[in-house]
Structures are given as structure tokens and as C-alpha cells.
Amino acid sequence: MTVIPLHHNAPAATAGPVDLTPEQVTTLLAPINPSRVQNLRGQSHLEAWDVRRWLNRVFGFGGWSDETLELAPVAQMEINPGRWTVVYRAQVRLTVKTTDGRVLTAYDDAAMGDSRNQPSLGDAHDQAMKTALSQALKRCAHNLGDQFGLSLYNDGSRAAVGLWSAAHTAPKTAETPAVPDDAPVKPEPAPVVEEQAPAAEQQVQRSKRAEGGPWEQPAAQQQKQAPPRQGPRAVPDQQPAAQGGPSRDYLADAQAAESRERFDQVRAAAVVENAPQEYLAKLDAIAQQKEQAAQKQSPRQPAAPKTGSTRPTAVPSGPVTPDPEADAARQQHAVALAELLAAGQALALEPSHLDDIATAETGCKAADCTVEQLASLTADLRAAAEGAAA
């Protein structure tokens, strides 16, 4: 019996750009349909479900996959009784394949996602995880070109930035190929949040009101509020803003600050609320007065024993010689702390919540973090805010 060998044209183990079909290349090089682009808080973005739809269209069902490399909670805060804000960090890998199933390429990227002011802790975790994963997938997909939002990084432009590729034989004419139009893309349904807003968010809204600014309170009225609060009936830090006054009595808080670190935190909060330079100068004057008072209370160096001369030994007095390097470092730390507070306000986070996040990430409270640690925390919170806006 004669055996006839069967020959199978097995696909190559690796794939490259030339393995894309002409239709795939033409679609990827086309500009994005403006109807797919959403705008939230001035930022252009694509919906996650729309990105998945176009992955199916370009690469086919089963022609792509996403893998969760990391999904970790960053913060869980009860901002008000029964109201929860949760933040997650996700890292995702997007893998795309050729039409015969070979891996073409893979992209890794990460993102933060949050869910704010939710009445259910479970819903807050669910929404924060979903947001982080969706944002990470979209960041992976933009490497595939204009159909996946690459041009939106060019100041939100809808005009194609890919246009042509030397690795492909698709048309490279001045007229970019077009793809069929779709109906306008609508956002995914957002979770229902009751209108009750956290105190920090209300404070931000007050600081942006149209009437007289929060720093027009007469100096005499501010000085009356300057003495430190004492006793269990002390006025809370967060109180309704008086007409024409700041939303928080920073002068009194500066007087009550028990350490330089606490003062820097108070000053940073004033910077976040756009305090004018003359108000910041008053805060700095309080700090200088407290430092001078501390120097007077510190024990003086004992006088040197007499050596036959009747002239008394001079005792150091007056302010200590300024240290420009220390002052510059302290100022840099205050600015970094102010940026962290501003990023936290964008997510409706109280300073105490930021301390919880800082402790979880660095082992110390925000005011005790280094400038580098503060910068890292700020970058994470800003990424979470961008993820919420996208």
C-alpha cells in the first residue's frame, strides 16, 4: 500500500506588519469619525465599549484579547457616613493577532480609576475596578492608531496623525481613506449618585463662586479669629465661609499649628485655594513669630567661667542666621504638598484621606513625605482624575 503524505501549510510562528490584510491597514490609517469622540470636562476621549467594538471590527472576534496584569485597591474612604469613595490601579496587556491566529503584537499600560461618593461600598469597588481596567485598555489600544484615539493626544484633534506607514502597501495619497460612518457614540450609563456632595467638594465649589472672592475678608476681622482654638467646643476646621471671607480660617490654623510640618500643610491648603500673596505673607509672619518665640523659650548656653577679666561673656541673642538652603527645601516641600492637596480636591478627598493614602503607600503621613514621594502620590491621583474624566 502506498502512503501519500499530507502536506499542511502551517502558518509561521511569528507575525509582523505585512501579515495585516489590506482592509485592516486601510481602516487603521483612516481618521477617526468625529461622532465617536466624547468630551468631558474639556478632555476628548473614547468610550471603552466603542474601543472594544473597533477591536472586533479590525481584528475580528477572537483576534484580540486583554489580560489583567494587576488590579489593586489604592484607597477606600468613607467621606461621609454611608458615602464611599474608592480608588483602584490597574495594569492591562492588550494582545492582537493576525486573521490566522498568530500573535501580531502586545501592549502594556496602566491607569487609575475611582468611584466617588457612592452609597454602597460594593458598588463603589465595582465601579472603581471597571473604570481602572477600561482606562488601561484604552491606553493600550491607542498604540494602534487614529481609530483608537491616537490623534486625540494631539490636543484633542480628530484629524489623522498616522496617514501612512512605510511597512505597508496601503494607499499613501493625500486623501486619507474613509470608513463607513456610524451613529454618534453615547457614553455608557454612569452609576446613579445622590446629590449629596462631600464637604471637600462643597468647599471647592464655594472657592469658585462668582461673587466676592474668598480672600476679601477685612484684616481686622481675620485677626480677631487668629487666636488658637482650645477646648472640646472648638470651632471645626471646615466651616461655612463667611460673606467675603475664606472658606477656612487659615490664620487661626497657622496660629494653632504645633509644628513646622503642620504649618506647611496649612499654608499649602491656602495655596490650593488661590490665596493672594499678601495673605500668604501674613501666614509666613505667623510662622516667623512662632519660631522667634520658640528660640526665646529655648535654654540659653551657660556663660563661660571667668578668667580674671571683669568683662561679662557675650550671650547669643536675636534670630538665628538664616539658612537659604533649608528655606528653599522647606518651600519646595510646601509646594509639593500643595500640589498633592489640589490633586486630592479634584477627587473630593479630605486631607485625612490623603494621609491614609500616603501612609499606605509610603508608611508616613503626607506632611512627613519627601518631595519625591509627594510627587509620586500626586501623579497617581492626577491619573485617577484623568481616568474619571475619560
Residues paired with residue 92 on neighbouring β-strands, in sequence order: 68, 109
Residue 251 near residue 282, CB atoms below 8 Å: yes
- Report residues of the chain scoring pLDDT below 50: 194-245, 303-320
C-alpha grid cell for residue 89? Answer: 490601579
**Looking at the chain, how many residues does it have?**
390
C-alpha grid cell for residue 306? Answer: 571667668
C-alpha grid cell for residue 42? Answer: 474639556
Q: What is the pLDDT of residue 362?
A: 84
Q: What is the pLDDT of residue 200?
A: 40
Q: What is the pLDDT of residue 299?
A: 56
Residue 2: DSSP 8-state: -
Q: What is the pLDDT of residue 202?
A: 38
Q: Taking Cα atoms as reference points, which of 340, 379, 347, 377 lies closest to residue 361?
A: 377
Q: What is the pLDDT of residue 135?
A: 94
Domain definitions of the chain by residue range: 17-153, 199-204+248-295+326-390
Answer whether CATH 1.10.540.10 is correct for domain 17-153.
no
Q: The whole model's pTM is what?
A: 0.48
